[in-house]
Structure 1
Amino acid sequence: MARKLIFAAAAFAALTAAAPAFSTEVVRIGTTAGPYAEILRYAGDLAAKQGIEVKITEFTDYTVPNAALAQDDLDINNFQHQPYLDNQVAQRGYDIVSIAKSIIVPIGIYSNKVKTLTDIKDGASAAIPNDPSNGARALQLFEKAGLIKLKPGIGIKATIADIAENPKHLKIVELDAAQLPRSLNDLDFSAVNLNYALSAGLDPKSALLLEGADTNWNLVFAVRAKNKDNATLKKFVEIYRSPEVKAFTEKRFNGTILTTW
């Protein structure tokens, strides 16, 4: 009997050693606070059912998620559009690339003092984000609103110095993106990124003008270049870009955040 028990124990041990242990893949992702993180959490819940544990870190400073990614504190981030990433790579030498599109989070023109674009008076004061890419994005929206005209062909490199026509003599200042909602108490209007607008309690439907689906400023998933073909990261992105996440995003944010899939 003892010999049988020993044999059985040995056989069980051999089978246990041969059987692959179930392991959960971990994805460390960085984003900014607000809707970006909320959508990622929903996608993370779906990913957990497929063996991927998603650890989300929220940042309040736009410059930090790329630094954290470059330093291997993150595996992937999702907070920026391609022009911003291109600018960061050019300025800081990051070996970071985008691997997929995610959502469009429209920047909008908001005001506590006027109700429509036509109410904006001569000499009005306004603010735009002080980082180069979002500043250009805001100026393009001002141009779309008919408030200014930019130099032809300047595109995503536009700065205040590239305003060719300013018929209302607007006084435009550059502020940190997170401070733009507060500026509405002092200025006539400001261009505010949607995540900061929502965090400050602003209603996107009250914006004087919002970007539409035709914008080129969609967010991207970014990784270190050596991980661009990483199977786990690609699987998570596939889960994120699913019909379930699309439906959640459209319902949760009432159509104000747009998907690219």
Structure 2
Amino acid sequence: MSSTTPPALPEKPRRSRLPLIVGLAVAVVAAVVVALLVRGGDDTATTAAGGGEVRTVRIGVTDQAEPYWNTYVDLARERLGVEVELVNFSDYSLPNPALSQGEVDLNQFQHVQYLANYNVTAGDDLQPIGATAVYPLPLYSTTVEEPGQFAEGATIAIPNDAINEARALLVLQAAGLVTLAGGGTAFSTTQDVESARVEVVPLDASQTAGALQSGSADGAVVNNNYATSAGLSPDDIVFQDDPASPSAAPYVNLFVSRAEDTGDQTYLDLAKLIHDPAVQAEFVESYPQAVVRDTEAPVLQEDLATVEEDARAAQG
């Protein structure tokens, strides 16, 4: 703006522009102050009614309907001053890309083995910051009570994602239903089935329970969250692996962040909060067969690095 003011005409004296300029300046300052209060220096921060800052953290999950999440969200708000927003995914292939791309801040749905395979195949570097539990991977049937009762050629549905497929095949081998080349590995596929008493049908993990319930499969290997949401009865489990064994370490489920966020104290606190007694009381009701694990982040990250080496070797 020029500092020279045009001469005023005598018959029409100009009014001072100072009040208008001051008013505009006050309005601009007020707007900036409001914006800063809302942002709090962080795109995920808001201001609580009482004046305290509340940070919003988006967590990707696959079992949002389970009651323990309600308790978890309430405790995060009350104890940590964090507003947790759960983002539910129905497909295991989605939460990791969503985390990598910043659509969520954390996710909690996968075990070490799954994360290792994702990082290696996607060229990513997502990292575990906390553990939750190891879940058995059960084989369900509504027509037989033990694996040996399946008829020759019976259809068994298994998850088709790389890691759960391998684990499901190992479950079927332990149940005496298939034989895998070399005894099988954590990276086996249906191509490694050397002999089988049953027909193995890989499906999306979200569809294996439905295949059993519709009668299109005589048995199904079903991940815990999908078994729970489908209402499968534990009484229909005819075989499962042992979640308490040392060999189950690669199947410890995780809270996961981007690599640059592993030191974020809020995220670490949220990972620990899952072990609060109030949350655990409901967690074990949702997943009574789970074996809870509370492993420290550095140990989990070392385990991940080891399994990633195995994954690279498997890709050969």
Aligned AA (1:258): V
Residue 102 of structure 1: how far off its partner (Å): 1.0
Runs of 5+ unmatched residues, structure 2:
1-50, 295-316
Partner of 2:84: 54
In structure 2, the residue matched to 1:256 is 289
The separation in 2 between residues aligned to 1:209 and 1:47, in whole angstroms, is 37
Contact between 2:57 and 2:105, CA under 8 Å: does it hold in 1? yes
After superposing the two structures, state which structure 1 stretch, 74-83 or 112-121, moved more. Answer: 112-121
Aligned to 2:265: 231
Shift of 1:221: 1.0
Q: Is the 8 A contact 2:131 2:271 kept in 1?
A: no
In structure 2, what is the equivalent of residue 42 of structure 1? 71
SS at match of 1:83: helix
User: Are the equivalent residues in 2 in contact too, given 1:194–1:204 (CA < 8 A)?
Assistant: no
1:60 and 1:31 map into 2 onto residues whose CA distance is: 9
Structure 1 counterpart of 2:239, which letter? L
TM-score under structure 1 length normalisation: 0.84
Look up the equivalent residue of 1:57 and give its one-letter code. Answer: V
- TM-score under structure 2 normalisation? 0.70
Identical amino acids, percent of aligned pairs: 32
Distance 2:88 2:221 in 1: 22
Q: Residue 165 of structure 1: CA displacement?
A: 4.1
Two-structure CA RMSD over aligned residues (Å):
2.0
Structure 2 partner of 1:95 = 125
Higher Cα Rg, which structure:
2
Match of 1:180 among 185, 196, 208: 208
The aligned residue for residue 139 of structure 1 is 169
Counterpart-to-counterpart distance in 2, 1:218 and 1:131: 17
Query: Paired residues, what number?
Result: 238
1:208 matched to 2:238? The reply is: yes
C-alpha distance in structure 1 between counterparts of 2:269 and 2:165, whole Å = 33
How big is the shift at 1:200?
1.4
Range that drifts further, 135-144 or 37-46: 37-46
1:3-34 CA distances to partner (integer Å, 9 max, x unpaired)? Answer: xxxxxxxxxxxxxxxxxx52112221001035
1:242 offset after TM fit, Å? Answer: 2.7
Contact 2:228 2:286 in 1 (8 A): no
The alpha carbon displacement at 1:123 in A equals: 1.8
Q: Name segments (4+ residues, structure 1) moved above 6 Å.
A: none
Partners of 1:117 and 1:89 lie apart in 2 by 35
1:14 — aligned with what? none
Note the alpha carbon deviations across 1:37-79, whole angstroms, 9 max, x for none.
5433322221111111111011101111111111111110000
Question: Contact conserved, 2:146 with 2:238, CA < 8 A, in 1?
Answer: yes
Tell me what 2:223 maps to: 193
CA gap of 1:193–1:34, structure 2 versus 1, over 3 A, is: farther
Q: Give the match for residue 118 of structure 1.
A: 148
2-structure distance, mates of 1:181, 1:256: 18
